[in-house]
Structure 1
Amino acid sequence: MTAEPPTPVTSATPVEDRLTADFYDYESLLSEEEYKILLKARTFMRDEVKPLVNEYWGKGELPEELIDKFRHSGLIALGYGGYGEHLPAISHLLGGMLAMELGRVDASSATFFGVHNGLGFYSVYYGGDQEQRDRFLPAMATMDKIGAFALTEPDGGSDVSGGMRTTARREGDTWTLNGAKKWIGNATFADYVVVFARDVEDNKVKAFIVEKDTPGFRPVKIEGKIALRIVQNAEITLTDVKVPEANRLKNIKGFRDVGEILRQTRSGVAWQALGVMIGAYELALEYAKQRVAFGRPIAKFQMVQDLLVKSVGNITASWGLLVQLARLQDQGIFRDEQSALAKEFVAARMREVVAWSRELFGGNGILLDNDIARFFSDAEALYSYEGTHQMQTLIVGKAITGQSAFVG
């Protein structure tokens, strides 16, 4: 005899709240309470965020209105527990699907939120001692203070681990930072920027919370981006920036600890990429049903259906990979190469889906008003950040062969 399968929690969900892209009903893996939280995020993104994004994406601006909406969304610091109000620990599966929901509507908003709630918040949560967590995290959990994460440098992206040029020199209870960082999301306005620098004495990478308006800390907005235009990326110069020892994150003792932060947050970017491909597919499917050519909806054309089916296949395969990764994370046994494979695979599949979706729109696909152009452009940034496709393959390749192909 075979056991009766569990009743999916989505079975009683109104049709308008279901995802057509969830072909294998992955959302049924959530508990009823978890699914309610997911639907809350879905409603928030649809009703509060989506109406704003095209206007501000076109302007290249992050409106205070959007920050305020996230501030009251109830999504901040979920999964960490103990900071702010009503912040229970949640499963990695729910956390991933929440990141997916944000990416499904707007990758820029998902990135802004991920930098604050993921990279910034988690750096303090993981890297700080208890006194530092208690000092910094409550205000970050309410978004009264915004966080940023400054690792990448103008001349060091993938190779920043061995080539970090930003330095830190200790003099008594004060550190002096000098150097530069680039592509730092939220840095133009963030209250707390976690800056990574190499200690000139022991050559170890350390992390420092640089507070807004500290003398010598100068973030300049990067202009002319074609992707994630709502995200305020900055190039930062640090000139004799004084940081108290109390702001050095005590549990960051080398680049291995930085790698631990990236291992955790990299999976979140993979979930965002899944959301982007779902959002693009949904736009393409709806357009195919409504667009009439040669006297019939193009959804009836074989080649259009072929693109849609390939998109569903990519989504389904990516979702399944991420579900298992979330299970491994919940058990505390997932490895660097598993997180890297997730980012590499899902981001590559996302790139395919957004290209097929934009193709299906034809000439209308380059218009911002049709949304798909934004998805197409933003996908390029997700494909590259949090570790490029090539860097992820090197991490996985080393794990499966036992041989390192890294240069240097």
Structure 2
Amino acid sequence: MTTDAPLRTLAPLAADFYRSEELLTPQEQDFLARLREFLEAEVKPIANDHWARAAWFPRSVVDGLAELGVFGLPWEETRPFENSAVFRGWVALELARVDASIATLVGMQNGLVMGSLGVAGSPEQRAEWLPRFARAEALGCFALTEPLSGSDSARGLRTVATRDGDDWVITGSKRWIGNGTIATHAIVWAKSAEDDQVKGFIVPTDSAGWSATRIENKQALRIVQNADITLDGVRVPESSRLQNGNSFRETAGVLRLTRAEVAWAMVGVAVGAYEGAVGYGATRQQFGRPLHSFQLIQEHYAKMLGNITASIAMCTRVSQMLDQGVQRDEHAALAKEYAGSRMRETVAWARESMGGNGIVLDYDVARFFADAEALYSYEGTREMNTLIVGRAITGVAAFV
């Protein structure tokens, strides 16, 4: 992204009812304006077609996002300018209001993959890998979830890494790994046979013993290439182990960083559905007048806007807490749980307000309605996030 160009004015979103974007700096608003222009021109026209075909975005989209500077925004080694967690939340919202799949791709690359390096990598690993991922020379995936281990990953990982001289040998299986069939490198989390602690590894996906099979028949985030992964004695050097990741505590630190941005993306999905429904209501005629002139339809709009506005306020505050260094697991968990529940309500009201046309891809809302179910579950289900908050309230862990 060029930094000497004139700053652009960010047109306010109608769904930003309390004008929260005005909290951003002029440079942050300029970046969002450029990103919005790119998404409207390069992603929105192709999103429904690629979703219907379960295809992948053209590489030009990934390269265009890298050129804008979207990848690497949080990290000193790669950020194009000083920016806030609130701003990065708005980036997630902007991406998701156009398409949740592209928001998920950025979340994986920018948050889970680069976040693993940022949290658990050595200075040397950060210096080597963060710029490569920021330029999209390397495309990453985050291999944590397993066929028999999801919410219980802290204790339930079955993938094992065994030390063999200067190498590690990794054996196991992973499931629901986004970008799994197209990534050049994976961040693989496995239990060490030496100390039974979870450790992270940078694994080239062309390694001997690595195989990835795309998960078929998904009905949400169909553009995201989720995969089943098999690691059959995959060998990596000690230099590929994340040097500052010695337990699941570091893995949880990565998830804490990204969970709040998933909440922001959920708001973006709600905004996309809201915009689609309001736009449809302005043109659809019923009983000789626009659909949006009916009281019950306007009630739906008001409820959707209320959900979006409350979620933006919560996400703004939890991101401010991250910048201040006081955000804890329960803060991000409450934001994700609340924004997810409100998103689910909002996309349902958007679909309902459009009648039968609400299930047709042509009007976008059907895609947001389906994709919401994936965001509702990943990076911590509603139930798990509720229990994280419940533990903070009571001091009692009720996970099992």
Per the normalisation by structure 1, the TM-score is 0.94
Q: Which amino acid aligns with 2:386?
A: T
Verify: 1:81 aligned to 2:76, yes or no: yes
Structure 1 CA distance, aligned partners of 2:217 and 2:342?
26
1:379 aligned residue:
372
Q: Which deviates more from structure 2 when the two are superposed, residues 46-55 or residues 271-280?
A: 46-55
Q: Which residue of the partner structure matches residue 36 of structure 1? A: 30
- In the TM superposition, residue 391 of structure 1 has moved relative to its aligned partner by 0.2
Quote the offset at 1:66 in angstroms.
Answer: 2.6
1:270 matches 2:269: no
SS at match of 1:100: helix
Match of 1:394 in 2: 387
1:366 to 335, 359, 362: 359
Equivalent-residue separation in structure 1 for 2:126 and 2:321 (angstroms): 26
Partners of 1:80 and 1:87 within 8 A in 2: no
Tell me the distance in 2 between the aligned counterparts of 1:251 and 1:279.
39
Alignment partner for residue 47 of structure 2, among 53, 66, 84?
53
CA–CA distance in structure 1, aligned partners of residues 133 and 274 of structure 2: 34
1:206-245 to 2 correspondences below 5 Å: 206-245=199-238
Please give the root-mean-square deviation of Cα atoms over the aligned residues, in Å.
1.2
- The equivalent residue for 1:148 is 141
Unaligned runs of 5+ in 1: 1-11
Counterpart of 1:72 in structure 2 is: 67
In the alignment, the residues of structure 2 paired with residue 297 and residue 88 of structure 1 have an alpha-carbon distance, to the nearest angstrom, of 45
User: How many residue pairs are counted as aligned between the two chains?
Assistant: 392
Aligned to 1:95: 88
Look up the match of 2:274.
281
- AA at the equivalent of 2:60: E
Q: CA deviation at 1:82?
A: 2.0
Match of 1:168 in 2: 161
- The answer to whether 1:293 aligns with 2:264 is no
Counterparts of 2:247 and 2:347, CA distance in 1: 38
What corresponds to 1:20 in structure 2?
14
Partner amino acid, structure 2, of 1:75? V
Moved more, 33-42 or 205-214: 33-42
Picking from 325, 331, 344, the partner of 1:332 is: 325
2:142–2:178 Cα contact (<8 Å) kept:
yes
Give the superposition deviation at 1:237: 0.5
Aligned residue number for residue 199 of structure 1:
192
Matched, 1:112 2:121: no
Identity %: 49
- For the 8 Å contact 1:150–1:193, the answer to whether it is kept is yes
Distance 1:203 1:159 in 2: 15
Alpha-carbon shift at residue 64 of structure 1 (Å): 2.3
- Aligned twin of 1:344: 337
Query: Matched residues in 2 for 1:356 and 1:398: separation?
Result: 32
Offset at residue 206 of structure 1 (A): 0.4
- Helix, strand or coil: the match of 2:114? helix
Aligned-partner SS, 2:207 = coil
| Residue equivalent to 2:311 | 318
Deviation at 1:13? 5.0
1:4 alignment counterpart:
none
Distance 1:257 1:122 in 2: 10
Query: CA shift at 1:124, angstroms?
Result: 1.1
SS in structure 2 at match of 1:149: strand
* Conserved 8 A contact 2:69-2:134: no
Task: Tell me, in whole angstroms, the C-alpha distance in 1 between the residues paired with 2:141 and 2:279.
Answer: 36
Name the stretch that deviates more: 37-46 or 244-253: 37-46
The answer to whether the Cα contact below 8 Å between 2:9 and 2:33 also exists between their aligned partners in 1 is no
Displacement of 1:278: 0.7
State the SS of the aligned residue for 2:221: coil
Tell me the SS of whatever aligns to 1:243: strand
Deviations 1:124-150 (A, max 9, x none): 122110111122122111001111100
Q: Shift of the alpha carbon at 1:42?
A: 1.3
**8 A contact 2:77–2:127 mirrored in 1:** no
Q: Which residue of 1 aligns with 2:179?
A: 186
Does the 8 Å contact 1:218/1:236 carry over to 2?
yes
Residues 194, 209 of structure 1: 8 Å contact kept: yes
Which one-letter code corresponds to 2:65 in the other structure? F
Kindly report which structure 2 residues correspond to 1:127-138, keeping only aligned pairs within 5 A, or say none.
127-138=120-131
Question: Secondary structure of the equivalent of 1:237?
Answer: strand
Q: CA deviation at 1:44?
A: 1.4
2:3 paired residue number: none
Q: Distance in 1 between matches of 2:63 and 2:250?
A: 32
Q: SS at 1:72's partner residue?
A: helix
